[in-house]
Amino acid sequence: QQLINDASLKILAETIGRAFERKQQQEDLLRTIQQLEQTFHSTISTIGRVIEMKDHSTYGHQNRVAQLCLAIAKKMKLSDSAREAVYNTALVHDLGKLYIPSEILIKPQSLSAIEYNIVKQHSRFGYEVLRNVRFPWPVAEIVLQHHERI
C-alpha cells in the first residue's frame, strides 16, 4: 500500500514539476514575443525618422500620415491587425525617397519634368527595398501603390 502511495506521489510531483516548467517556458516565450514586437515597432519608427532626415521639408509627414491612416482604419472598423498594418506601412511609405538625390528633394524651385519623374519613382524604390522583408502584411505592395489614383 505504501509503495503505491509513494509511486503516486512521485508521479504527481513530476507532473506538477513539468507543469511549472511549461508555465515558465510559456512566460519566457511571451516575454520574447513582446521584445520582438517592441523591436519591430522601434525599427519601423526608426526607418520613418531616417526618411525624414533625408527630406527635412517633410518633417513629421510619416507620423501625420500614419495617424491619419489609423484614424481612417478605426472609422472603417478594421481589425486590430489591419490597423497595425496600415499604421506601420504609413510610417515607411516614403522609404524610396532615400534613393532620390537630396538636391531634388530640397530644391526650393519647381522641379523639372525629369526631376519630377525621378521623385515619382520613390514608390518603386521603396517596394524594391521592402519586397523581400517578411512582414505579416503586404507592406511592399502598399508602399508601391501609395500614390496610385484609383
pLDDT along the chain (150 residues), means of 10: 73 91 95 94 88 81 93 97 94 93 90 94 95 92 86
Identify the pLDDT of residue 59: 82
Q: Assign 50 to helix, strand or coil.
A: helix
C-alpha to C-alpha distance for 43 and 81, rounded to whole angstroms: 18
Calculate the CA dihedral of residues 147, 118, 138, 44 and round it to 10 degrees: -100
C-alpha to C-alpha distance for 96 and 122, rounded to whole angstroms: 4
Give the start-to-end residue ranges of the domains of the chain: 2-145
User: Would the CA dihedral through 51, 138, 80, 27 be positive or negative?
Assistant: negative
Catalytic sites, residue numbers:
97
User: Would the CA dihedral through 83, 85, 88, 93 be positive or negative?
Assistant: negative
- The CATH fold assigned to 2-145 is Hypothetical protein af1432 (1.10.3210)
Identify the pLDDT of residue 2: 60
Identify the pLDDT of residue 7: 80
Identify the pLDDT of residue 4: 67
Question: Is residue 104 packed enough to be buried (19+ CB in 10 Å), middle (13-18) or exposed (0-12)?
Answer: middle
Identify the pLDDT of residue 96: 93
